[in-house]
Amino acid sequence: MTVDANKETLGFQAEVKQLLHLMIHSLYSNKEIFLRELISNASDAADKLRFLSLSQADIMEGDGDLKIRIEFDEDNKTITITDNGIGMNRDDVISHLGTIAKSGTSEFLKNLTGDQKQDSQLIGQFGVGFYSAFVVADKVEVFTRKAGEPAENGVHWVSEGEGDFTVEQVNREGRGTSIVLHLREGEEEFADGWRLRSIVSKYSDHISLPIEMVKNELPSSDESEEEKTEDKAPEYEVVNKATALWTRSRNEIGDDEYKEFYKHISHDFEEPLAWSHNRVEGKQEYTSLLYVPKRAPFDLYQREASRGLKLYVQRVFIMDDADQFMPMYLRFMKGVLDSNDLPLNVSREILQSNKTVESIKNALTKRSLDMIRKLEPEDYKEFWKQFGQVLKEGPAEDYANKEKIAGLFRFATTYTGTAEQVVSLDDYIERMKEGQDKIYYITAENYNAAANSPHLEIFRKKGVEVVLMYDRIDEWMMGQLFDYKGKSFINIAKGDLDLGDIETEEDKKQQEEVEKTSEDLVKRLQEVLTAKVSEVRVSHRLTDSPACLVVGAYDMGAQMRQIMEAAGQKMPESKPTMEINPAHPLMERLNGELQEDRFEELAQIVFDQAALSEGRSLEDPAEYVKRINKLLMETLG
């Protein structure tokens, strides 16, 4: 660090260096969006000042006319974006412009591929608006002063987008921020009034703050040469609609405007999958504009990360991430809520206990679920890949909408034969066998473990579809979801298997006969494996495998147990039931084994193999390998 009076030269955070390197080398395929990002930041600064002024009237410093001004200099190749919003002090500048103060930085960098198109999508998810200035500029200056602080507390920040930046104290009369972009060679096209106007019209027309530029005036023919060359104070004109988009009628707003507004509020570079603009009048009055994003942000699974809607009360900005209006399982939703029923000095405490908030939350939740349900099939596929696991948190959090949420779920099943999750519960019910009144499912660590589970054998034989669940959240989710449209869920790897009317009287009679003839084998296995199993019994699930393990109907499954143990939770001891298939050649061989030592060895191998086929971990893998090796040596003579 170099110190010269009050001037400091500081190094960028390591992640910022990498990011700037990518930006400067044309990461963005569409360079003109730098202006959208800087205008968006200026708008946010004005919103924050307006909110503070509700409780600190003098913070406006006698200037309540909030606006953004864009100026350019063709000769010096500069663009200046100025706002009279909240501004920054020295600490803010170093914190906000020298580091990326957002979670997921290392994850973001890890996901960079070198493919410009793909990487620009990642940048969009990450949201790094200010740094987009370096796409067109080889030097950026920031002049700023925080509202309410004296003029001598102004700050001048300069960087050329390399390894460091300088910060020094300067005098600045007006509050707010000016950003000066020194355009790099080849980007001079942006120092042009018509070009800048067209960008504002394309990307920032919806900004509710007036965006001003010097009036385009041709000199009048009756002006003298002296008047033409005389320096005049420039006249400014507003170049955007300067009306909050959500306050306008839906009929006046085009799709492109909705999409650009989404990018403004979310700092996402991708277009949304869907949106819904709605005005409610009557008992409650509010306007909502909700969006379903296309991509999940990096911090989606960090429950403490900021989330929620932009909240306005009577057109006055209140807060950026009002999370009280959306349940946690819909935390990916973006949008704006403007209410007439909340007090202007609204606080988080009021929001948490207000009945109006609860009523609005219920209405917005239903609207969001309807938006998701109405997505086009291809869009829904994309949505499910990005947000499906988060949606699965819903049944536990939102009992009132449990069935509506479950209707949005997609799964892999034995019917599709692939790992792709495309089958809805409604699809499953439509294909149910005659006499079937239950939805059968199995949970496993991964798709292959689920699809190849021995528990599926009887269902394949009977032609009954089974839902294959392999997301880590699935078993926990099914602990909250007991039925759907009157059909109860049955985990085929738990408890006694009830096939209902699918099982014929002849099947039941055959089962009884097999149980009777296998009593001795069951008894011998029970004695040998008493330390590992709660019971041994004849199975009617198996047709091809020698044995399988079944947990109690109310016990925790193997997948959930592993998750809890990995989290450091001590689990109560629970022994599975081992079900055997006496018709299997291995079981027939075992039944004929007279040497007790040999019988015990084989029984232990059968148990361990059953555990492995369930995706369980063996208590003593080395002992299992020893037994298998011994068996192989005997077989090979």
**Mean pLDDT, residues 90-99:** 80
Residue 483: predicted pLDDT? 93
**Mean pLDDT, residues 127-143:** 83
| Distance (Å, whole) CA 20 – CA 161 | 6
Residue 233: predicted pLDDT? 78
- pLDDT tens digits for 388-437? 999 999 999 999 999 999 999 999 999 998 999 999 999 999 999 988 88
- Return phi, psi of residue 284, to 5°: -125, 150
Q: Which residue has the tokens 């009237």?
A: 57
State yes or no: pLDDT of 375 exceeds 70. yes
507-544 burial, b at 16+ Cβ within 10 Å, e below that, comes to eeeeeeeeeeebeebbebbbebbeebbbebbbbbbbbe
- pLDDT tens digits for 12-64? 766 666 666 666 654 455 788 789 889 988 988 998 898 888 888 889 988 88
Residue 98: predicted pLDDT? 65
**Mean pLDDT, residues 220-244:** 72
| Distance (Å, whole) CA 437 – CA 443 | 20
**Mean pLDDT, residues 457-481:** 92
Number of residues that make up the chain: 637
Question: For residue 151, what pLDDT band results from cuts at 50, 70 and 90?
Answer: very high
Q: Which residue has the tokens 């599709």?
A: 416
- Amino acid, res. 1: M
State yes or no: pLDDT of 1 exceeds 60. no
State yes or no: pLDDT of 566 exceeds 70. no
**Mean pLDDT, residues 118-138:** 65
The SS3 assignment for 349 reads: helix
Residue 32: predicted pLDDT? 84
Q: Which residue has the tokens 């219920």?
A: 362
The SS3 assignment for 196 reads: helix
CB within 8 Å of 257: residues ≥ 6 apart: 205, 206, 245
Beta bridge partners of 280: 286
**Mean pLDDT, residues 106-113:** 53
| Distance (Å, whole) CA 128 – CA 317 | 22
Residue 114: predicted pLDDT? 55
Least confident of 48-57, 209-218, 494-503, 551-560: 551-560
Candidate ranges 33-47, 172-186, 496-510, 565-579; pick with highest mean pLDDT: 172-186
Q: Name the helix (H) or strand (E) containing 14.
A: helix 14-24
**Mean pLDDT, residues 528-555:** 88
Q: Name the helix (H) or strand (E) containing 311.
A: strand 309-313
| Distance (Å, whole) CA 619 – CA 70 | 69
Question: For residue 352, what pLDDT band results from cuts at 50, 70 and 90?
Answer: low
Question: For residue 499, what pLDDT band results from cuts at 50, 70 and 90?
Answer: confident
| Distance (Å, whole) CA 510 – CA 399 | 43
Query: Is 168:7 a contact under the CB 8 Å cutoff?
Result: yes
Q: Which residue has the tokens 């002006």?
A: 223
State yes or no: pLDDT of 122 exceeds 60. no
| Distance (Å, whole) CA 551 – CA 152 | 72
State yes or no: pLDDT of 249 exceeds 60. yes
Beta bridge partners of 611: none
| Distance (Å, whole) CA 124 – CA 273 | 15
Q: Which residue has the tokens 């909030």?
A: 66
As a whole-number percent, the residues of the chain with pLDDT over 90 amount to 47
State yes or no: pLDDT of 100 exceeds 60. no
Q: What's the number of CA atoms in the CB half-sphere (13 Å) around residue 85?
A: 27
**Mean pLDDT, residues 545-573:** 74
State yes or no: pLDDT of 559 exceeds 70. no
Question: For residue 6, what pLDDT band results from cuts at 50, 70 and 90?
Answer: confident
CB within 8 Å of 49: residues ≥ 6 apart: 59, 60, 66, 85, 86, 147, 175
Query: Is 46:85 a contact under the CB 8 Å cutoff?
Result: yes
Question: For residue 105, what pLDDT band results from cuts at 50, 70 and 90?
Answer: very low
**Mean pLDDT, residues 633-637:** 78
Query: Is 413:423 a contact under the CB 8 Å cutoff?
Result: yes
- Amino acid, res. 318: I
| Distance (Å, whole) CA 324 – CA 326 | 6
CA distances from 263 to 200, 260, 271 (A): 14, 5, 7
| Distance (Å, whole) CA 403 – CA 384 | 17
Q: Map out the domains of the chain with their CATH numbers.
A: 2-215+236-243 (3.30.565.10), 272-373 (3.30.230.80), 409-502 (3.40.50.11260), 517-551+569-635 (1.20.120.790)
State yes or no: pLDDT of 452 exceeds 60. yes
The SS3 assignment for 566 reads: helix
Q: What is the pTM of this model?
A: 0.73
Query: Is 203:33 a contact under the CB 8 Å cutoff?
Result: yes
Sign of CA dihedral 402, 408, 412, 416: positive
The β-bridge relationship of strands 164-170 and 68-73 is unpaired
- Token pair listed for 338: 């403007």
State yes or no: pLDDT of 123 exceeds 60. no
| Distance (Å, whole) CA 288 – CA 332 | 16
What 8-state DSSP symbol labels residue 375?
Answer: S
State yes or no: pLDDT of 494 exceeds 50. yes
Query: Is 494:550 a contact under the CB 8 Å cutoff?
Result: yes
**Mean pLDDT, residues 277-305:** 88
The overall average pLDDT reported for the chain is 85
Instruction: Look at 11 and 217; give whichever has higher pLDDT.
Output: 11
Residue 12: predicted pLDDT? 73
Query: Is 154:172 a contact under the CB 8 Å cutoff?
Result: yes
- Token pair listed for 415: 């019917």
Residue 441: predicted pLDDT? 95
- Amino acid, res. 112: L
Query: Is 87:178 a contact under the CB 8 Å cutoff?
Result: no
| Distance (Å, whole) CA 145 – CA 49 | 13
Query: Is 310:335 a contact under the CB 8 Å cutoff?
Result: yes
Q: Name the helix (H) or strand (E) containing 71.
A: strand 68-73
Question: For residue 140, what pLDDT band results from cuts at 50, 70 and 90?
Answer: very high
State yes or no: pLDDT of 112 exceeds 60. no
Least confident of 95-99, 113-117, 145-149, 492-496: 113-117
- pLDDT tens digits for 209-224? 999 999 875 555 555 5
State yes or no: pLDDT of 274 exceeds 70. yes
The SS3 assignment for 443 reads: strand
Residue 230: predicted pLDDT? 58
- Token pair listed for 348: 């988080």
- Token pair listed for 399: 């009992």
Question: For residue 125, what pLDDT band results from cuts at 50, 70 and 90?
Answer: very low
